[in-house]
A and B are shown apart, each in its own frame.
Chain A
Amino acid sequence: MILPPGRPLARLLGRIVLHGAWIALALAAAILAGVCIGETAIPVGTVWRTLANKLFDAGHALDRIDQGIVWNYRLTRAIVAACCGAGLAVSGVILQSLLRNALADPYLLGISAGASTGAVLVTVAGVGAGAVSLSLGAFGGALAAFLLVALLARASGGGVGPRAAGQIVLAGIAGSQLFNALTAFMITRSASAEQARGIMFWLLGNLSGARWDNVGMAVPVAVAVTSVCLWHARALDAFTFGTDSATALGVPVRRVQALLIGCASLATAVMVSIVGSIGFVGLVVPHAARFIVGVRHVRLIPAAALMGAMFLIAADVLSRIVVKGQVLPIGVITALVGAPVFALILVRRRPAR
């Protein structure tokens, strides 16, 4: 391969290393905070020593229980929260850019509901029932939901465009309701009481089940989706003036749409299959990130991923400490933040003239 003039490329690499470094640091700090803070606070030193023991066999003397809590519960939980936050936020960025719609979000568009249905279908039908088949089921459900909602929005005259803002959100509501009903139907029909309780608990959005095998799934997906999206940052920028304009700017629109919507669905599906559906992350975080770094996707995507990760870790910490002795569903926290932001966007999008 012939590399283009070296200077800009070298500068680009420099920037990637520099920004990558501080983003990784910020992420590590957020995860550390997520591990330490809880109903019983764990000193940072204990966390360090646990990590040293587990990763490098350092052999520090530690309380077995503390070490177990840090390694098997708090750490996995924080990492999965970070991945979910990043994945959902990046999905939100993708959907908002491609649909030219400030209100697009995996949850509002019914993609999360579709993913839940797919995952529940796999669970009650007992197909494999491993983490992978669960995610695959969720992925199928997510894609089906997106297609249904997109078709419905188009049929209602909205299609994909600036005037379709209301249409696609309405279609999303219809889609969510439909898929939630399907999920409820399947649970009542086919799940045992035991299964049903487990599923309902998971559906509300719950991180307490996050273990290392979930980490093994969530991390690669979050990293891959963010990277693919970042690779297409310029193409996403080119949608600023709509799909025709993107075509005229040399973007293979259909291919980019299919790939990136696929990415958004995959991220949503995998996260939903691990933690249930958590609303508003994909809506709130991209807007907050835009507010800070602007609309250009080269900066927006990493910013949204980082802020999404931090937001969900913070929401998880809050959900554990707000009510003494109880863990709130994390979706409650994100909705408490998200609903007002949603209202704010609605008000701000009121036609100017």
Chain B
Amino acid sequence: MMLAAHDLGWSARGAPILRGVSLEVPEGETLGLIGPNGSGKSTLMRLLCGVLKPEAGEVRLAGEPLARMSRRRAAQWLAMVEQQAETADRITVRDAVELGRTPWLSPLRPWSAEDDAIVAEALAVVEMSGLAARDWATLSGGERQRAHIARALAQRPRILLLDEPTNHLDIHHQLSILQLVATLPVTTVVALHDLNQAMSCDRLGVLQHGRLVALGKPQEVLSPALLRDVFGVRASFLTDPADGARIIRFHAVS
């Protein structure tokens, strides 16, 4: 398994936030995490990348316990795009993306032409090459999000963790980011809000009150019963005549 969590638990000031979460992500898979606000998606992501230390259980990368890896080596394995990460510093987009090279550099392994190429490619992939020299402060929310994704890509990780990466994005960039994530040859865990977009993941994990209540293929997981119990909505399923894909339409439970 590329990424495995075993019985993860975490609490804040005595209140349990996440309990008994176990999951395994094979190489190359895109795992979607869904759940209502406050269900623990971000907390799980932060545990998976080691920003938070689990109180119970452990995370393994390709079999090796994350807790025993140096931060630097862990960052060579996994990159994380946080839900919110802001700065007041006067940096350019390129500066932000170049930060992604941090785990590969050291005082004795300085910046090289290869790093330049990786950064340029990451910028191109998120369609930000033209904005590379722009001041961070002048970017829109969506542009910042794409720059963060480019930063994570510049990290050249084997595993990519994305916390609601399509927030702030216009529909074109939502789709292109999701498509990009699907085609990248990396293992991906992505927290998503839009359940229809979640349908395109290889598998889905559903969080509710800090527990993983379902894990499996999107079609199996997103049943009317689960949507009612976890999200509190009534759902009807439609079929797109263009390609026969399933689409969920939501109604308030009356």
Contacts and interface: CB of A to CB of B under 8 A. Distances in A.
Q: Do A and B bind each other?
A: yes
Interface of A: 3-5, 7-9, 11-12, 100, 102, 162, 231, 234-235, 237-238, 240-242, 244-245, 247-253, 290, 294-296, 349, 352
A240 B94 CA distance: 13
B88 A250 contact: no
B9 to A, nearest CB: 20
A5 B51 contact: no
A250 B89 contact: no
A177 B113 CA distance: 52
Contact of B89 (A5, A240, A244, A247): A240
Contacts of B108: 3-4, 9
A295 B89 contact: yes
Contacts of A241: 82, 85-87, 96, 99
B91 A249 contact: no
Contacts of A244: 46, 51, 82, 85
Contacts of A11: 110
25 contacts: A8-B112, A9-B108, A100-B88, A162-B87, A234-B105, A237-B99, A237-B102, A238-B99, A240-B91, A240-B96, A240-B99, A241-B99, A242-B87, A244-B51, A245-B85, A247-B71, A248-B51, A248-B78, A248-B80, A248-B82, A249-B99, A249-B103, A250-B71, A250-B76, A250-B102
B148 to A, nearest CB: 8
Contacts of B86: 162, 241-242
**A3, A235, A240, A252: most-surrounded residue (chain B CB, <10 A):** A240
Nearest to A231: B107
Question: A-B pairs with the 4 shortest C-beta distances?
Answer: A250-B75, A250-B103, A241-B85, A8-B112
Nearest to B50: A247
Contacts of A5: 112
A290 B88 CA distance: 13
A8 B106 CA distance: 12
Nearest to A233: B107
Given A241-B99, A249-B75, A251-B71, 10 more contacts: A9-B108, A9-B110, A235-B102, A241-B86, A244-B85, A248-B49, A248-B79, A249-B102, A250-B73, A295-B89
Contacts, number: 93
B111 interface: yes
B48 to A, nearest CB: 11
Interface residues of B, number: 39
B210 interface: no
A7 B82 contact: no
Interface in B209-229: none
A156 B96 CA distance: 31
Contacts of A240: 87, 89, 91, 95-96, 99
Nearest to A1: B108
A241 B70 CA distance: 21
Given A240-B96, A250-B71, A251-B102, A295 B82 contact: no
B111 A250 contact: no
B72 interface: yes
B87 to A, nearest CB: 5
B124 interface: no
A238 B98 CA distance: 10
B99 A295 contact: no
